[in-house]
Amino acid sequence: MKKTMLNIPDYHPAFAGHFPDMPIVPGVVLLDEAMHAIADDIGHDGAWQIGSVKFLSPLGPGARVIIEHEAQASGAIRFDIREGERHIVSGSITPVTES
């Protein structure tokens, strides 16, 4: 399983309009960060097919998380995002290859 550290700074622009009184990291930001981390690791610069994504716990400003991912025999890549022991997101994505 490969791991990437990620810090979502408290000044991230998504916080301005995403629950200003109690800001949380939008799910799309977490998914985008996971796809970028995985793409950088495997050298994929194309599109992705999302198999499944579950958002399990909210994440606040200034959070430091770990993105873990592992290739599956099917070609999909299973990933998890954790803040310490707390599970934030889990899912699977598949790199789309041009034929």
Q: Does 72 fall in a domain?
A: yes
| Structural domain that includes position 89 | 1-6+51-93
pLDDT tens digits for range 57-79? 999 999 999 999 999 999 999 99
pTM of the complete model: 0.91
pLDDT of residue 99: 62
Q: Does 78 fall in a domain?
A: yes
pLDDT tens digits for range 8-40? 998 888 888 777 788 899 999 999 999 999 999
- What total of structural domains would you count in the chain? 1
How far is CA 35 from its chain centroid?
6
Distance CA 6, CA 26 (A): 15
Distance CA 94, CA 6 (A): 21
Q: Does 27 fall in a domain?
A: no
Q: Does 21 fall in a domain?
A: no
Q: Does 74 fall in a domain?
A: yes
Q: Does 29 fall in a domain?
A: no
Q: Does 80 fall in a domain?
A: yes
